[in-house]
């Protein structure tokens, strides 16, 4: 079968309704902070199951504000996974904190709670301040286990749920936690990059059930400024009476706001999030069936995991050979991720190849195949046939 059009690993899906939603904003008085921001935040919080949501410029900015709100500063030590996009670690460095890595579970590619416990127990209690687990590829991380560790060692949790809106985890006692619902992590973050479940060009969201953190985040995303009189400090001697113009910068924040245009697009996309998630799961099931019994290793989620399938990752012996071969066939697979601890920037802090064998072995073999809701059955079959041709 000949494939003419390129097949990327991920792709946004923009509908006429999406375009109309953005057009409506362009014809309105608001382009930056308008009514769609609050509407998107409320709808997203309801979808995820959290009490509060704060719309942010992008997922990286969301991580940065989370570390700020939780008090990361020079000397603060935080643990995360080496198999993630670098922003999961960089956000700690933005605040001057120190990043520590722990190895992954080779069966899931997720941060391993046992490895984190070993790291915590190897240091005096109080050494570490927090953990940033990642719902990698859409597979929900074992957040109950990390919550137990956090409570035991006095830590906070940021759930990096960029890959997992709509994902969930059901525990042995039958309780279901939705990724980012705020019931276990102090804060959770999401991304609306074009290849994610919900696309707004750029954009992100922070969810939480903590009212104080929520209010703090609202200030931090807008230069640390508040225009709410009940939050202002008292008048200073000689200060003139304040009026409707008055605002107060209470701390150093950033311009990390989402625009109303992006919020309108995100809100439109959110309206069909369940439909798009169902299609991702259908595509994953077809891949699972096709590769069963072959030399292609797949990550099969536990029955308790509601996988959100941002990515569909396989592992093969000749990863580079397959990667190059697929490109000759117009299939543009991708690698997620190069272990963060091996990047030159992090090697300056003493991390090296060989530190985390499971993460490094996973990286040597992993490849993300096309996974997006508009991938057709014909295109997917072409991908499957091409992969199997190469590995035979």
Q: Is 104 exposed, middle or buried (0-12, 13-18, 19+ CB in 10 A)?
A: buried
Which residues, other chains included, contact 72 with Cβ-Cβ below 8 Å and sequence gap of 6+? 78, 92, 95, 96, 97, 129, 130
Structure tokens at 324: 């190059």
Site of tokens 């077809």: 286
Q: What is the DSSP string of 174-196?
A: S-EEETT-SSSSSEEEEE--TTS
Cβ atoms within 10 Å, residue 65: 29
Domain count of the fold of the chain: 2
Confidence (pLDDT) at 326 = 98
Confidence (pLDDT) at 392 = 78
Confidence (pLDDT) at 320 = 98
The verdict on residue 4 lying in a domain is: no
Residues 54 and 149 in one domain: yes
Tens-of-pLDDT digits for all 392 residues of the chain?
Answer: 566 699 999 999 999 999 999 999 999 999 988 999 999 999 999 999 999 999 999 999 999 999 999 999 999 999 999 999 999 999 999 999 999 999 999 999 999 999 999 999 999 999 999 999 999 999 999 999 999 999 999 999 999 999 999 999 999 999 999 999 999 999 999 999 999 999 999 999 999 999 999 999 999 999 999 999 999 999 999 999 999 999 999 999 999 999 999 999 999 999 999 999 999 999 999 999 999 999 999 999 999 999 999 999 999 999 999 999 999 999 999 999 999 999 999 999 999 999 999 999 999 999 999 999 999 999 999 999 999 999 97
Residues 229 and 151 in one domain: yes
At residue 368's C-alpha, the angle toward residues 367 and 369, to 5°, is 115
pTM: 0.97
Q: Are 277 and 166 in contact (CB under 8 A)?
A: yes
Residues 104 and 210 in one domain: yes
- Residue 198: domain span: 16-270
Confidence (pLDDT) at 57 = 98
Structure tokens at 222: 């807008």
CA-to-CA separations, 166 to 49, 169, 265, 270, in angstroms, rounded:
10, 10, 18, 11
Q: Which of 217, 250, 270 is the last residue of a domain?
A: 270
Which residues, other chains included, contact 165 with Cβ-Cβ below 8 Å and sequence gap of 6+? 47, 48, 179, 180, 190, 196, 197, 198, 273, 277, 308
In sign, the C-alpha dihedral spanning 315, 316, 321, 326 is negative
The verdict on residue 200 lying in a domain is: yes
Residues 209 and 183 in one domain: yes
Q: Which of 236, 270, 304 is the last residue of a domain?
A: 270
Residues 149 and 249 in one domain: yes
Strand order in the sheet with 98-101: 52-56, 204-208, 187-191, 156-160, 130-132, 77-80, 98-101
Structure tokens at 60: 């990286």
Q: Are 277 and 38 in contact (CB under 8 A)?
A: no
| CA distance from start to end of the chain | 18
Residues 308 and 228 in one domain: no
Q: What is the CATH number of the domain that holds 126?
A: 3.40.640.10
Residues 106 and 237 in one domain: yes
Residues 20 and 49 in one domain: yes
Please pick, among 196, 297, 320, 392, the residue that the annotation labels catalytic: 196
Residues 356 and 326 in one domain: yes
Question: Phi first, then psi: what are they for 282, rounded to 5°?
Answer: -65, -45
The verdict on residue 11 lying in a domain is: no
Residues 200 and 343 in one domain: no
Which residues, other chains included, contact 77 with Cβ-Cβ below 8 Å and sequence gap of 6+? 97, 98, 100, 127, 128, 129
The verdict on residue 237 lying in a domain is: yes
Which residues, other chains included, contact 105 with Cβ-Cβ below 8 Å and sequence gap of 6+? 111, 112, 114, 358
The verdict on residue 2 lying in a domain is: no
In 132-210, which ranges are continuous DSSP H helix? 143-153
Residues 126 and 228 in one domain: yes
The verdict on residue 5 lying in a domain is: no
CA–CA dist 347, 354 (Å, integer): 12
Residues 212 and 287 in one domain: no
The verdict on residue 10 lying in a domain is: no
Q: Which of 222, 247, 270 is the last residue of a domain?
A: 270
Question: Phi first, then psi: what are they for 142, rounded to 5°?
Answer: -75, 75
Q: For the chain, state the CA radius of gyration.
A: 22
The verdict on residue 53 lying in a domain is: yes
Q: Is 125 a catalytic residue?
A: no
Q: What is the CATH number of the domain that holds 335?
A: 3.90.1150.10
């Amino acid at each position: 079968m000949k494939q003419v059009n390129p097949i990327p690993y991920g792709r946004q899906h923009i509908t006429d309704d999406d375009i109309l939603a953005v057009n409506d904003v362009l014809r309105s008085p608001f382009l930056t902070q308008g009514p769609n921001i609050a509407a998107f935040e409320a709808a997203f919080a309801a979808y995820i199951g959290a009490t509060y949501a704060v719309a942010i410029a992008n997922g990286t900015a969301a991580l940065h504000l989370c570390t700020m709100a939780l008090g990361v500063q020079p000397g603060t030590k935080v643990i995360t996974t080496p198999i993630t996009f670098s922003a999961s670690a960089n956000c700690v460095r933005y605040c001057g904190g120190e990043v520590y890595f722990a190895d992954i579970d080779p069966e899931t590619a997720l941060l391993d709670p046992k490895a984190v416990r070993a790291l915590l127990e190897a240091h005096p209690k109080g050494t570490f301040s927090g953990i940033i687990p990642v719902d990698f590829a859409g597979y929900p991380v074992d957040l109950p286990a990390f919550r137990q560790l956090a409570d035991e060692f006095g830590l906070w949790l940021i759930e990096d749920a960029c890959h997992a809106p709509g994902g969930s985890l059901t525990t042995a006692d039958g309780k279901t936690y939705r990724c980012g619902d705020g019931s276990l992590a102090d804060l959770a973050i999401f991304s609306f990059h074009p290849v994610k479940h919900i696309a707004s060009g750029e954009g992100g969201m922070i969810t939480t059930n903590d009212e104080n953190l929520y209010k703090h985040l609202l200030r931090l995303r807008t230069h640390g400024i508040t225009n709410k009189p009940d939050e202002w400090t008292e008048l200073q001697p000689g200060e003139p009476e304040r009026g409707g113009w008055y605002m107060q910068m209470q701390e150093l924040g950033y311009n990390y706001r989402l625009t109303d245009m992006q919020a309108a697009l995100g809100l439109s996309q959110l309206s069909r999030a369940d439909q798009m998630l169902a299609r991702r799961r259908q595509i994953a099931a077809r891949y699972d069936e096709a590769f069963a019994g072959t030399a292609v290793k797949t990550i099969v989620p536990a029955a308790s995991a509601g996988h959100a399938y941002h990515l569909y990752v396989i592992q093969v012996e000749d990863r580079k050979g397959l990667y190059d071969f697929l490109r000759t066939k117009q299939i543009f697979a991708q690698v997620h991720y190069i272990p963060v601890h091996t990047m030159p920037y992090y090697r300056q802090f003493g991390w090296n190849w060989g530190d985390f064998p499971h993460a490094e072995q996973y990286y040597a073999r992993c490849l993300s195949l096309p996974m997006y809701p508009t991938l057709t059955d014909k295109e997917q079959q072409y991908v499957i046939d091409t992969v199997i041709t190469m590995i035979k």
